[in-house]
Structure 1
Amino acid sequence: MALHNALEQLLAFQYVAEELSFKKAADQLFLTPTALSHRIKKLEQQLNLQLFERRIRSITLTPEGEYLLKHVRTGFEQIQSALHQLEQHKQRLFTITTIPSFASEWIIPYLPELQNRFPNIMFRVHASYDLVNMNSGLYDLAIRYGSGGYQHVTTELLATDEYVAVGHPSLNTQEMHWKTVPLIHFTWGDEYCPNLVNWQKWFEKRGLQIHAGQPQVFYTQESHAIQAVLSGQGVALLSRTAIANDLKQGRMKIVSAYSEPAWNYYLLTPPDADSVVYEVKNWCKEKFSQSFI
């Protein structure tokens, strides 16, 4: 007996046996009484058993039919329970896309806490500066750095930002000279860099200049520049938002009162986002705000 046909026939049998009516069972299964009767006869032929006593205006179960009904009920209940358990314990893939520095400084350190809070969710972190299409179905939450004006998404301001000059906490700012201090650069590329914040323009606005022979190193990722500062390699112009945790924990310090305005951080969600998306978004806001207390 083919499994598919067997399940259909056993389900038909259960409905007829519980209703003791071909018409009522057929209505519930969206079948004609003739089609339903055919399934029952097919089952009886394959089992070589009579499951019902058919009378003119009623039907009753035979002893064999009563025995089969008991086990068919148990079987379908177990199947339903198994399906329910699978549904309850299946893991959902939840993708957060953000810029690399935010992923390194904000998402990755807190990811174990996020996983503990949402045990049935499998998180994926996508790090990129590229524009993101939230209607593609590929992303659940986006954290982007920009000037706003995002279309066809739900947008919420996470933080305004500025670029500050920072160094290792051991750096003696009283003895530091801007002519000799090692400069740490990072380049986003013109299509990403907010207001083209860099040391060259920062020095010019302060009436200073970078001197020939002054130690300098260039990185293509802000997260690498952050690591260079943490290891005491020099001073860098970094996003105050990106390094908020490092400043709060005393792992680096601001070495100049001058700052440069920059873009803002935004939370982007699809227009049809469900409750899980909003819960994760609120968790992100909560963790983020704690670093500015």
Structure 2
Amino acid sequence: MKIIHQSKDNDLSSFTAFLAVAAHRSFRSAADELNMTPSAISHAIKVLERRLNVRLFNRTTRSVSLTDAGERLASKLRPAMASIEEAIQELESDDHRPKGVVRINASEGAIRLVLRPVLARFFREYPQVHLDIVSDGKLSDIVADGFDAGIRLAEAVPRDMVAVSVSKDVRFAVVASPRYFEQRGYPKVPHDLHGHDCIRFRFESGAIYRWELERLGVAERFNASGPLTLTDQPMMVDAAIDGIGIAFVPEHLAADALKDGRLKRALEDWCPAQPGLCLYYSGHRHVSSGLRALINMLTETLSDS
């Protein structure tokens, strides 16, 4: 409190700049977040370091990292600044209704499964909130890329993030057309897949997804091979319906085709349910009223389903 008491009027903005650089490990990314120039950010940090008489960052031409003193200051400032921002936002919002822009990074499947069902209702209830939703198949660093939150499978959420469950458990399905199975036979154990044409999935990072099958605690990971590789899971379902091969896809994407007989399942007892999708965000940043409203709606929808 002594530092705050003796501080100058622009210390609040200097502390904000310091925390932005600490979060992004980049002066340019911090400048983009705060709508400032990199030179203004650099100047604010230099002034703060000079007044505190301590170096807060180690800088090279390629990287920015916190010093020990910087780490200590950041750990103390984060909760304090979050409280200040929350208090200011509450005072500025006379009607207390959520407003502002909320940036969400999610896979296309997550957008369709979790966000699309609530969007119309969300905008009716919160007309002053703008959702900026980016479909991204990569596991982006949501903090570095300027997103407020991301949506991914629970197993893919970074451990340092706050995660909120927004879907039921998910289950994958090994599927192909009835004609394909009639001609090529049904695989009875995962090893049998080696004799089949498989439809592979490629992440935007370029990596090929390895099929993960499990039964009675025994896990099998299978590097699928076949004539077709796609980056779109609904298209994988279409390819399986067309008899091109066997696909391994989220069950809900194949549900209609399984129901009407265009697809058949195999290895069903090797496809247990897994923890579903989570919305996640950094616990070191203030949760805006718009993001909080979205989280509340998604969790209420999940509990009612």
TM-score bracket for this pair, using the shorter chain length: 0.3 to 0.5
Q: TM-score, normalised by structure 1?
A: 0.47
Q: TM-score, normalised by structure 2?
A: 0.45
Flag the structure with larger Rg. Answer: 1
